[in-house]
């Protein structure tokens, strides 16, 4: 039993969506319909209640020369997105039922038999991962294949990935692997590879890291995610101030009113 | 509802495991996409870039709450403030009927609030899951426990007071009434404004940008509503209520001016589009309109004054409700904004 993570290497991803299929089959994730998005070959759009793994098809303006691109072709990279399993998880902090827990593998897991569908985790996720299933009413997201990890198996998506673009393993060794992979790619002339692992933000690092080409923002990976817990100090201070104002205001209003009433009664 | 960890079933699990291998093999047989598409010059192909993000798909998910939640914000705010007014009015020896009415407003809000929350959850027994734990780091958990304590206290106070008025004082009734009143005062204070913390401490940009102000704003809004309801029940001669109503309306006017004065992309939902107009309507009804009507009522004769206060009360109550709807609506619009999470401008 160790603290595990995903490392999703977009330079190896071929966009086959085997991870999406494997995830759906293993976890019995519900259907998300057939809607054409018009965004490259991606018709799922984003991770959500019915999409726990999601392959992004990132068509970019060509970076000429890189990866054999010529001027008139689009540069095309794929990247399999997933719940980030934050170190400081907004959903976990916000959950009022204790349904969302940290597992022994470091992942963030929603216990479906405890979740009551309040939806507060949905508003608290800085990555927009958790979503309420409209039919069922409860919130769903990637479980980090807690059931499989429990018995020593790798998550379904990592198992089904034919190119080992989705790497799964112990978190520190994956970080080392990511560094050596970047060095290797740089040596081979691909100098725009970045590791997305927001460790110096309030999220405190994630258990799902991404190797992407170019700016992570093209992949909808936010440069400065904040766990909403950081706003609480300000919020409760303001709440205490509001309570104090209400108490003092009401006291002053009624006490001065009462004195006036007594005075008039006395006078009459 | 399935068990989170189904009991191992060797044959079935083996078949499922083999199926994962099949998926992998199938994927391996497919070659990587080899389509070479030519991009016609000027064609509107969507492109992912650091500026547009991933095809302008919103990163954040919209708050999934239904109509019950903004209504709950309104009812809870008014009930909390009414309990505070009732308790202080009682302690300072104000008009007995005012105390009674304020207690009944708090009690009514205490019944309606959980009903609204249960309705949003879809299945009543799901509300009980909230009561498994107390989590200080979750504003919703703190809020639910405040609601439970407040409701119990406010309902007990109102009923004990009612029984005492009807059947004469007795020791147990007196104890329940006094303890309930003290508890509903202590819990009514945070209950009237915690909803500002609830939405302020989230990932939704327009909410968390106003986190330092939302609780005070919602507290003033709840006070305006409670005073309005009390005046509509006939307490239009109370100077204390007039002062509180005027204070709330002036604060709400200042809050509106504050929103209008600041300029930031994250605040756009409060100023532009349908959510902007709802915010402005709520702000005008809760702030300047009752403030002017109440100021005018100070200068006129008794009968005219009461009529002006009645209109000010209607305006405050409706304004408070619209303000809550506006903030929830603005949160939805804000979550849809794909630009905000990509670039974090400095303060």
Contacts of A140 (CB under 8 A, 6+ apart): A29, A49, A50, A52, A110, A112, A130, A131, A132, A133
Cα gap B11→B4, rounded to integer Å:
19
State how far Cα B184 lies from the chain centre. Answer: 19
Query: Does residue B249 contact residue B291 with C-beta atoms inside 8 Å?
Result: yes
CATH number of the domain at A4-226, out of 2.40.50.320, 3.40.50.620, 3.30.70.20, 3.80.30.20?
3.30.70.20
Cα gap B187→B200, rounded to integer Å:
20
> Residue A16: its chain B contacts at CB < 8 A?
27, 30, 32
pLDDT tens digits, B158-173: 999 999 999 988 999 9
B32 touches chain A (CB under 8 A): yes
Query: Does residue A93 contact residue B137 with C-beta atoms inside 8 Å?
Result: yes
Choose the closest CB to A217 out of B45, B53, B132: B53
Q: What are phi and psi of B235, to 5 degrees?
A: -85, 60
Question: In CATH terms, is domain B63-192 a member of 3.30.420.40?
Answer: no
Cα gap B109→B119, rounded to integer Å:
15
DSSP E strand boundaries for chain B: none
Choose the closest CB to A162 out of B24, B92, B194: B24
Instruction: Give the start-to-end residue ranges of the domains of chain B.
Output: 63-192, 203-337
Task: Find which of B2, B20, B56, B93 to mutate to test the A interface (most A CBs within 10 Å of its CB).
Answer: B20
Cα gap B93→B176, rounded to integer Å:
19
Using a 10 angstrom Cβ sphere, with 0-12 exposed, 13-18 middle and 19 or more buried, the burial of residue A237 is middle
Whose structure tokens read 């106070």?
B157
Other C-beta atoms lying within 10 Å of the C-beta of residue A133: 16
Contacts of B244 (CB under 8 A, 6+ apart): A249, A250, A253, B85, B223, B227
- What sign does the CA torsion over B258, B261, B264, B268 have? positive
Query: Does residue B196 contact residue B216 with C-beta atoms inside 8 Å?
Result: yes
Q: In the 8-state DSSP scheme, what is residue A48?
A: B
Closest CA to A140 of A169, A111, A167, A180: A111
> Residue B121: its chain A contacts at CB < 8 A?
116-118, 137
Closest CA to B272 of B339, B338, B340, B206: B206
* Contact criterion met (CB < 8 Å) for A219 and B8: no
State mean pLDDT over A31-38.
Answer: 80
Q: What are phi and psi of B156, to 5 degrees?
A: -60, -45
**Residue ranges for chain B with pLDDT beneath 50:** 1-3, 345-347
Higher pLDDT, A126 or B347: A126
Query: Does residue B61 contact residue A47 with C-beta atoms inside 8 Å?
Result: no
Contacts of B264 (CB under 8 A, 6+ apart): B209, B345
- Run of H or E residues at A146: helix A146-150
Please check the confidence at residue A235 and state whether its pLDDT lies above 60: yes
pLDDT tens digits, A165-193: 999 999 999 999 999 999 999 998 888 89
Higher pLDDT, B324 or A263: B324
Cα gap A247→A200, rounded to integer Å:
41
Cα gap B98→B107, rounded to integer Å:
14
pLDDT tens digits, A85-107: 999 999 999 999 999 999 999 99
What is the pLDDT at residue A1?
56
pTM (2 d.p.) = 0.91
Cα gap B259→B270, rounded to integer Å:
8
Task: Find which of A59, A239, A262, A265 to mutate to test the B interface (most B CBs within 10 Å of its CB).
Answer: A239
Closest CA to B207 of A231, A92, A223, A203: A231
Query: Does residue B316 contact residue B228 with C-beta atoms inside 8 Å?
Result: yes
DSSP letter string over A238-261? HHHHHHHHHHHHHHHHHHHHHHHH
Query: Does residue A153 contact residue A164 with C-beta atoms inside 8 Å?
Result: no
Q: Are strands A208-213 and A4-9 parallel, antiparallel or unpaired?
A: parallel
Compute the radius of gyration of chain B from its Cα atoms.
Answer: 26
Provide the token pair at A260: 């006036």
Task: Find which of B55, B67, B198, B222 to mutate to test the A interface (most A CBs within 10 Å of its CB).
Answer: B55
Residue of A nearest to B59 (CA): A128
Crossing angle for the helix pair B139-167 and B68-91, nearest 10 degrees?
A: 50
State mean pLDDT over A218-223.
Answer: 92
Cα gap A129→B9, rounded to integer Å:
31
ipTM of the complex as predicted: 0.91
What is the pLDDT at residue A42?
86
State how far Cα A190 lies from the chain centre. Answer: 28
Choose the closest CB to A231 out of B47, B55, B211: B211
State mean pLDDT over A225-248.
Answer: 96
Cα gap A204→A86, rounded to integer Å:
7
DSSP letter string over B180-228? HHHHHHHHHHHHTTHHHHHHHSSS-HHHHTTTTTHHHHHHHHHHHHHHH
Residue of A nearest to B239 (CA): A257
> Residue A25: its chain B contacts at CB < 8 A?
16, 19-20, 23
3-state secondary structure B235-277: CCCCHHHHHHHHHHHHHHHHHHHHHHHCCCHHHHHHCCHHHHH
- Provide the shortest C-alpha distance from residue B258 to chain A (in Å): 16
Cα gap A30→A25, rounded to integer Å:
9
């Amino acid at each position: 039993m160790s603290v595990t993570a995903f490392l999703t290497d977009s330079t190896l991803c071929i966009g086959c969506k085997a991870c999406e299929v494997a995830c759906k089959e293993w976890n019995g994730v519900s259907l998300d319909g057939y809607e054409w998005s018009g965004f490259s070959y991606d018709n799922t759009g984003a991770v959500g209640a019915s999409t726990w793994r999601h392959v992004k098809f990132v068509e970019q303006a060509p970076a000429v020369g890189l990866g054999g691109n010529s001027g008139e072709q689009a540069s095309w990279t794929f990247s399999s997105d997933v719940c980030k399993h934050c170190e400081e998880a907004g959903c976990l902090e916000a959950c009022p039922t204790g349904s969302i827990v940290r597992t022994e593998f470091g992942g963030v897991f929603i216990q479906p038999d405890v979740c009551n569908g309040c939806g507060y985790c949905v508003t608290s996720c800085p990555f927009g991962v958790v979503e309420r299933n409209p039919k069922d009413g409860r919130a769903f997201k990637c479980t980090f294949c807690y059931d499989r990890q429990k018995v020593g198996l790798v998550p379904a998506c990592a198992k089904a990935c034919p190119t080992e673009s989705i790497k799964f393993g112990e978190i520190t060794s994956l970080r080392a692997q990511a560094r050596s992979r970047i060095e290797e790619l740089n040596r081979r002339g691909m100098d725009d590879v970045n590791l997305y692992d927001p460790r110096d933000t309030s999220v405190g690092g994630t258990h799902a890291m991404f190797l992407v080409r170019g700016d992570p923002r093209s992949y909808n990976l936010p440069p400065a995610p904040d766990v909403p817990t950081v706003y609480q100090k300000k919020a409760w201070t303001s709440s205490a101030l509001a309570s104090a104002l209400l108490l003092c205001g009401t006291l002053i209003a009624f006490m001065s009113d009462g004195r006036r009433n007594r005075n008039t009664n006395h006078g009459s | 509802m399935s068990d989170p960890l189904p009991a191992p079933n060797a044959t079935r699990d083996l078949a499922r495991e083999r199926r994962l291998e099949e998926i992998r093999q199938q994927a391996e047989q497919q070659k990587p996409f080899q389509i070479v598409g030519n991009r016609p010059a000027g064609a509107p192909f969507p492109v992912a870039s650091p500026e547009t993000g991933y095809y302008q798909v919103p990163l954040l998910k919209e708050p999934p709450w239904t109509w019950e939640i903004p209504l709950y914000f309104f009812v809870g705010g008014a009930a909390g403030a009414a309990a505070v007014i009732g308790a202080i009015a009682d302690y300072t020896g104000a008009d007995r009927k005012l105390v009674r009415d304020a207690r009944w407003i708090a009690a009514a809000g205490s019944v309606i609030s959980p009903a609204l929350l249960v309705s949003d959850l879809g299945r009543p027994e799901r509300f009980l899951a909230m009561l498994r734990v107390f989590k200080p780091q979750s504003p919703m958990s703190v809020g639910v426990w405040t609601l439970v304590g407040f409701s119990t206290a406010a309902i007990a106070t109102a009923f004990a007071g009612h029984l005492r008025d009807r059947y004469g004082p007795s020791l147990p009734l007196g104890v329940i009434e006094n303890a309930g009143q003290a508890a509903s005062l202590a819990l009514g204070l945070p209950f009237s404004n915690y909803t500002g913390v609830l939405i302020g401490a989230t990932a939704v940009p327009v909410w968390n940008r106003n986190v330092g102000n939302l609780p005070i704003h919602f507290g003033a809004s709840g006070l305006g509503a409670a005073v309005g309801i009390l005046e509509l029940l006939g307490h239009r001669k109370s100077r204390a209520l007039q002062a509180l109503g005027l204070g709330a309306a002036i604060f709400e006017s200042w809050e509106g001016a504050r929103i209008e004065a600041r300029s930031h992309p994250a605040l756009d939902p409060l100023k532009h589009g349908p959510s902007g107009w709802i915010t402005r309507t709520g702000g005008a009804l809760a702030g300047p309109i009752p403030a002017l009507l109440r100021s005018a009522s100070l200068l006129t004769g008794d009968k005219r004054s009461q009529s002006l206060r009645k209109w000010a009360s209607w305006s405050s109550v409706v304004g408070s409700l619209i303000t809550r709807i506006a903030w929830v609506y603005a949160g939805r619009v804000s979550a849809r904004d794909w630009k905000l999470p990509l670039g974090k401008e400095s303060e």
